[in-house]
Amino acid sequence: MILKKMILDNFRQFQGQQEINFNTSTPSITIIYGTNGRGKTGIFRALIFCLFGEKSLAQDENINIKDINLVNTQALEKSDGKPVVAMVATTLVHENKTYEIIRKIRGLKEGSEIFEEGFELTLVKTDEQGNTAPPIKDKTTINEIIGNIFDPKIKDYFLFDGEKIERLTRADVQQKKTVAQGIKNLLNINDLENAINGMKSLLNNLNAQLKIHSQGKFAQVLNAIATTNKSMEDNQIKQETVSAQLDAAEKELRKYDGELDKINEIKHVITQRKALLAQEADLIETQSSRIDLLRSKLTGTAASLLMPIIVKVYSQLDTKKQTGEIPVQSKLDLIDKILKDHRCICGTTVMEGSCEYGLILKWKNRIVDSGLSDNALNLWRDLNAIIKETPGTIDSVHKALIDYDKNQIDVTQIHEQLKKISDQIDDSAEEKAKGFNQSRDKVNKDIGSYKNQVRVLEQEYQTLESKKVELTRQKEKLQEEEGIKDELHACAALATDTNEALNNIFNSFTEDIKKQLSDLASSAMKRLLDEEGKWSLKRIVVKNDYSLQVHDHRDEPFLANISAGQRQIVSLCFITALAQVATGKDRFEIPLFMDTPFGRLSLEHRENLIGFIPQICQQWIIMVTDTELTEKEWNFFRKVNCNCTFYKLSPLADGTTKVENIPVDEALTSIQAH
């Protein structure tokens, strides 16, 4: 089957009618390129909706289906409360016949609520001679025709999104379910499973009847078998219950991880805010110490204002000091002695009434006010100190003021930055993260407990199985010994053997398919991994419990140690292996539709994947974001030996998306424009 064309009309982001013509050469690549939110997944959704009538995708597991709207919201806004019809028409070619499938859905907006209902499905078939049959409108007939072209059970292996790829790498219940369901769908063994269940039910009936008709030891053994069967059934029910709880807990864990991822996206801003707040606190502390310094220098600062007067007074005092006027160079008692003895220390007689006596007396009178002299001396000392200290004080105050001013500018800038950050993020982000982490821890503990319960129940089941084998052996021995060969026993024996045969066939099928998948996935892994990965990882194994495992070069389990990119490679290998097994051919004849598959892949892994897929699939339709498709990846695509078509999803002013076919030669310019 080859996808030829898809027309979207008022579907999701695509307002009005828009068309995509897929490259139909074999092998071919159709690239649909667009930034996030432009509608890549909308195209994937359109295909799933058109072919199978489904509204939701794997990635919608946490979204209520009522919240998924397919009709373009802008068209609904403009419709003034009237219904709007959205349509997807897909044209495909299968075994030389062309099929056009048109599916319509009607939407109505009432207030803030949108109601949608599917209302028309049409299929138009044109044969290889170009004869077009009358349109088919009957849904059952159309679904049968589509089912024959593209079995809905295996659609998951050809149409998958990043979420589905991601899911396979998780070692959880969901992963096991996905792998187990994939294998069962591939084998088409639902009938075999139903037959086994019917046979089990028959065996229980026959054993119950035998119990009624049996006596003694044989009855005891039958009773024990019935009790063991009942215990095994109870065990299975418990296992299913605990598995469901485990599944729910793992879903919840993913929900919290998703929330934490969102918070992690702004984590760097929160970290920046923390750093700024610390920086702001430091600056404020520094400012505070500068203010203390300025306060301590206040006296000196004030003195500097009076400096000319201080210098003048000091100079006068200093002159007097130099001339010995202050302090007084002689002692009063010495003068008194001279006056009393009438003799100077130089030996000159100083008589009362003489001129010398008069001068000495005058000198004495001047010295009598010695307190004034002390005060003058103290003032001289203080002024001296002020004059010496003041220039240093002025310098330090000046420097402190400049620093204060500079710091204040920094504080203002930090305030502005903090305001910008506060506008960007919710103040409660950290609190929320704490809350999510606590809830996550709790759920994680529950998961551990559930896993433990599952392990215990599995062990119990194995013990019960062994007990049943032993009891059945005893029963057969007693049957022989007691010669019980009536019809009931023969029936029970035949039912037991048939049940065993069916179980063996079922196990043999699943074992075969697990081996095939392991081999194909391992072979793909060797093609896709980088050199280091090729050396360290040996093969992919589908385990008995349907979980995926990767073995290292020593053939030891290694999944827990591989990188996120390598995990994605493992998933892609498994999915391509499923697709190969589903078609039973090396190159499968159904389009491989991938939505954002490169997310976690390194450049080398991307190159390997781009080279590998066209070798195993005839039509590859890939939707990529601007971060997934740069000039480098584009060059890888150009190196692949197959035809390529390039579409770009461009935003329009009203928020809708325009689908543009870009000639391959101009695609690089378009990519570089991003």
Partner 1 sequence: MPETNKKIADKLEYYPKNVQMLATYAIEQAKRINAAALSQLLEQETKKLVRKDMAK
Among 189, 249, 338, 447, binds partner 1 (CB under 8 A): 189
Residue from 375, 508, 544, 561 in contact with partner 1 (CB under 8 A)? 508
Per-residue 3-state assignment (H helix, E strand, C coil) for 35-49: CCCCCHHHHHHHHHH
Return the structure tokens found at 413.
């800038």
Whichever of 84 and 502 has its CB closer to partner 1, that residue is: 502
First to last CA, the chain: 34
Distance from C-alpha of 71 to C-alpha of 519, rounded to nearest angstrom: 44
Between β-strands 592-595 and 159-161, what pairing exists: parallel, antiparallel or unpaired? parallel
Q: Which of 84, 101, 179, 199 binds partner 1 (CB under 8 A)?
A: 199
CA count, 13 A, side-chain hemisphere, 274: 8
501 binds partner 1 (CB under 8 A): yes
Inter-axis angle of helices 564-583 and 173-187, nearest 10: 20
Per CB under 8 A, contacts with partner 1 among 72-131 are none
Q: Are 617 and 27 contacting, i.e. CB atoms less than 8 angstroms apart?
A: yes
Q: Which of positions 134-173 make contact with partner 1 (CB under 8 A)?
A: 151, 154
Tokens of 509: 């099928």
Q: Which is nearer to partner 1, 189 or 573 (CB)?
A: 189
- Smallest separation, CB 196 to partner 1 (Å): 8
Q: Which helix (H) or strand (E) holds 132?
A: none
Instruction: Count residues binding partner 1 (CB under 8 A).
Output: 33
487 in contact with partner 1 (CB under 8 A): yes
Nearer to partner 1 (CB atom), residue 591 or residue 614? 591
- Which tokens hold the place of 175? 């992963």
Binders of partner 1 among residues 577 to 596 (CB under 8 A) are: 582, 584
Question: Does residue 545 interact with partner 1 by CB under 8 A?
Answer: no
User: What amino acid occupies position 425?
Assistant: I
Residue 430, class by beta-carbon neighbours within 10 Å (0-12 exposed, 13-18 middle, 19+ buried)? middle
Sign of CA dihedral 517, 583, 91, 618: positive
What values do phi and psi take at 618, rounded to 5?
-85, -25
Residue 509 interacts with partner 1 (CB under 8 A): yes or no: yes
Interface with partner 1 (CB under 8 A), residue from 194, 315, 349, 452: 194
* The one segment of 132-140, 241-249, 266-274, 486-494 that binds partner 1 by CB under 8 A: 486-494
Specify the residue, 202 or 664, whose C-beta has the smaller distance to partner 1.
Answer: 202
Among 132, 205, 227, 365, binds partner 1 (CB under 8 A): 205
Q: According to the binding rule CB under 8 A, does residue 237 interact with partner 1?
A: no
| Piece of the chain touching partner 1 by CB under 8 A; list 67-75, 131-139, 186-194, 335-343 | 186-194
Binding range to partner 1, per CB under 8 A, among 60-68, 308-316, 426-434, 498-506: 498-506
Inter-residue long-range contacts of 423-429, CB under 8 Å, 24+ positions, other chains counted: 424/266, 424/269, 425/266, 425/269, 425/270, 425/273, 429/263, 429/266, 429/270
Q: Which of 186, 443, 540, 617 binds partner 1 (CB under 8 A)?
A: 186
Q: Is 197 in the site for partner 1 (CB under 8 A)?
A: yes
Name the segment binding partner 1 (CB under 8 A); options: 174-182, 287-295, 431-439, 492-500: 492-500
Residue 484 DSSP class: -
Choice between 188 and 349, CB closer to partner 1 = 188
| The one segment of 161-169, 284-292, 489-497, 614-622 that binds partner 1 by CB under 8 A | 489-497
Q: Evaluate whether 32 touches 26 at the Cβ level (below 8 Å).
A: no
In angstroms, rounded to a whole number, what is the distance separating the alpha carbons of residues 503 and 420?
66
User: Is 173 in a helix, a strand, or coil?
Assistant: helix
Six token digits for residue 227: 């009790």
The one among 124, 429, 491, 668 contacting partner 1 by CB under 8 A: 491
198 sits near partner 1 (criterion: CB under 8 A): yes
Q: Does 192 bind partner 1 (CB under 8 A)?
A: yes
One-letter amino acid at 610 equals: I
Give, for 462, the enclosing helix (H) or strand (E).
helix 429-482
Interface pick for partner 1 out of 502, 548, 592, 659 (rule CB under 8 A): 502
Closest by Cα among 140, 134, 50 to 92: 50
183 forms part of the interface with partner 1 (CB under 8 A):
no
**Interacting residue ranges for partner 1, rule: CB under 8 A:** 151, 154, 186-189, 191-192, 194-195, 197-202, 205-206, 487, 490-491, 494-495, 497-498, 501-502, 504-505, 508-509, 582, 584
